[in-house]
Each structure stands twice: as structure tokens, then as C-alpha cells.
Amino acid sequence: MPANLPPEYFEVEKTLRQARTAEEKIAIMEKLLSIIPRHKGTEKLVALYRSKIAKLKEEIERRPAAKKGQLFRVEKSGAGQVIVIGPPNAGKSAVIRALTGVEVEVADFPFTTRLAAPYMMPFENIKIQLIDTPPITADFMESWLVEMIKMAEAALVVLDSASPESSAQLEIIVNRLKKKKVELVSAETPIPPEKFPFMKRTLLVLNKSDLGEVNNLKEELEILFGRALETVAISALSLTGLEELRRRIFDLLQIVRVYSKVPGKKPDYESPFILKKGSNIMDLARQVHKDFAEKLNYARVWNKQGTITGLRVTRDYLLNDEDTVELHL
């Protein structure tokens, strides 16, 4: 019986020959499986791919632990690293493209993105690193993705607000990560340092708001997760909601920008020091120079609002976003 495979099958099958890693091969074969029509004539082909996928997965499992993530570790850069995850076709790559202006590959079929890739998103005077990733489904998640999520400072989960499956897909992702001991938490959740890899501040991005009401999905999510995770509605296509999203991503990082100035001179507003929220003058001094850390006498502070101007403070003074600080030895 002839297999009668659609042309798309052969297009995708070609890419299999160029695939180098086991992860890439699995992703392509999963895609082929989603294309192959199911009938008597394709039974053998389906079985063949299934067994190949199973073998590749075993191969990945046999890799030494240290090697598993190695190939896919993304060097950190900028003020913070935010990993973008989600179900297939939700628009993860499109959202990154809209936020960064970089030509990220976007396509109308699942499993378009097969490898992790970093992009820089400008936010006011800083840059935040966004990592595009392959999708997570009930039966597929790259073995190295969890390690990458653990290393990132925060996560975005992109969902298709027009799809009736989005809340179930989020549930699948949350549960898959939970099995790997990773918990997605809201932006304000305090995370003790030893919990850093296992608790990830997360924002839910309800994409494709141009296709209709996002409230249905919001309500479903609230029923399933309470208000544990915050949402922001955007459209990567009509470019709406992006400014709010950029600000919310910055908030998710829980960092402050601090300008250091020399007495009598203006601060450099283009290259702020980046510190964790809750940092004080002493933390800043350590970043500026070890001499300051050792010999700091006092500091003067100006705030963004202009309500604090040159106030003399001690080393335990808590810093706010966009404070200007003069360190005195």
C-alpha cells in the first residue's frame, strides 16, 4: 500500500540529513511524525521513526552529566538572562523578534525553533538577554532545556491566547518542570540563593491578542493556577503591548540600575551598574573598585524623582533603581 506522503514531509525530511545533534534529529523526527498521515501504508514508517527517536533519547541519557548541557549553555550577557519557553507555535520566536528587532525564524508550523539562541533586548539604557528555545509538549522536551532554565535569571512562558489548548499546555509545562524540581513563581517571590536554580520568576505572555479576547484564557489560568503567575497580553504581529512587556521583563529581573559619579562631574547615564534589588552602598562599592570597598567613608545619593539630592548616607543605605551615587573614601 503506497504511503502517499505530503510534499511537506519531503521538505522536512531533507533537513534531517543536515541535523548534527541527537536533539536536533529528535525534533525533526517528531515533526515528521506530526506530518505523516496515519494509515496502513505508513505504519512501518511511523514505527521506524518511533524506534529511532527512542534510541536517540537513550543516547542522550547515556551522556555523562557534565556533557549534557555543555553544548547548549548560553554565555550570559547584558543586565540579565531571561529564557523564553512555551508550547509549539505560540509565538516565542515572534515575540523575541518583536522585542529585539532581530530577524528570528518564525513559521506557521510547530518545532520551528530547534536550538537555543540568545538575543539582546534593549530596555531604556540597558540590554537584557532573551533566549529562544524549542517548544515543550506532553511528549517532548529537550533534555538540556531544564538545565538552561535553571541557569536563567527569569522565564517567560509564551501562550497563544486564541488557542483553546493554551491553559492545558501551560499545565503540562508546569508539571514537566516540577518533575525536574523547577517551580515557576511570580515576579515578586523572594528567592533564597540556594533555591535560585529551582525557583524561577516567571511572567505569562498571552500572545496573539490581535486574534480576539484574551480574557477567556486569563479566566482559565486563574481557575487552574490562582493568581500565582502574572500575565501580560500582547501581539507580536500588530506590535501591541510591547512597551509594557519590556518593563515587566525588567521588573522580573528584580535588579536596580545605579549611576556612579565623581564629585563635581556628571554621572554616565549610559552605563549603569547593575545590582540585585535590596543591594546597599557597600554592594555598589564592591562592584566599582576594591579600594572603594575597603576604604569607603561615606556616600552621597540623588534619586530619580529629585526628592533626594546629595544626601549623605552610610554604607548600609538601600539603593533604588536609577539612584546616582558619589562614593567618598
Ligand X SMILES: Nc1nc2c(ncn2[C@@H]2O[C@H](COP(=O)(O)OP(=O)(O)OP(=O)(O)O)[C@@H](O)[C@H]2O)c(=O)[nH]1
Q: Catalog residues that contact ligand X under the rule CB under 6 A.
A: 86, 88-94, 106-108, 110-113, 135, 207-208, 210-211, 235-237
Q: Please, what is the minimum distance in Å from the beta carbon of residue 12 to ligand X?
A: 12
Q: Please, what is the minimum distance in Å from the beta carbon of residue 112 to Mg ion?
A: 5
**Selection from 269, 100, 233, 215 nearest residue 158 by Cα:** 233
Element (H, E) at 206: strand 199-207
The answer to whether residues 131 and 117 touch, using CB atoms and an 8 Å cutoff, is: yes
Q: Please, what is the minimum distance in Å from the beta carbon of residue 104 to Mg ion?
A: 7
Report the residue number, 141 or 327, with the smaller CB distance to Mg ion: 141
Report the residue number, 199 or 242, with the smaller CB distance to ligand X: 242
Q: Which does 236 bind (CB under 5 to 8 A by kind): Mg ion, ligand X, none?
A: ligand X
Q: Please, what is the minimum distance in Å from the beta carbon of residue 109 to Mg ion?
A: 10
Q: Which does 91 bind (CB under 5 to 8 A by kind): ligand X, Mg ion, none?
A: ligand X
Q: What angle do CA 248, 249, 252 make, to 5 degrees?
A: 85
Report the residue number, 91 or 272, with the smaller CB distance to ligand X: 91
3-state secondary structure of 306: coil
Whole-angstrom distance between the N-terminal and C-terminal Cα of the chain? 85
Which residue has the CB atom at the shortest distance from Mg ion?
A: 113
Using rule CB under 5 A, residue 231 touches Mg ion: no
Q: Please, what is the minimum distance in Å from the beta carbon of residue 31 to Mg ion?
A: 12
Report the residue number, 160 or 326, with the smaller CB distance to ligand X: 160
Residues 6+ away with beta carbon under 8 Å from 275: 255, 256, 258, 283, 284, 287, 319
Report the residue number, 92 or 300, with the smaller CB distance to Mg ion: 92
Q: Please, what is the minimum distance in Å from the beta carbon of residue 309 to Mg ion?
A: 48
Report the residue number, 104 or 256, with the smaller CB distance to ligand X: 104
Q: Please, what is the minimum distance in Å from the beta carbon of residue 121 to Mg ion?
A: 16
Question: Could you identify the residue written with the cell 536554580?
Answer: 197
Which runs of E-coded beta strand occur in 62-110?
81-85
The answer to whether residues 173 and 110 touch, using CB atoms and an 8 Å cutoff, is: no
Residues 6+ away with beta carbon under 8 Å from 285: 292, 293, 296, 299, 315, 327
Task: Find the binding residues for Mg ion in span 76-115 (CB under 5 A).
Answer: 92-93, 112-113
- Sheet bearing 255-261, strands edge to edge: 273-276, 255-261, 323-328, 298-302, 309-313
Report the residue number, 88 or 272, with the smaller CB distance to ligand X: 88
Write out the residues near Mg ion by the rule CB under 5 A.
92-93, 112-113
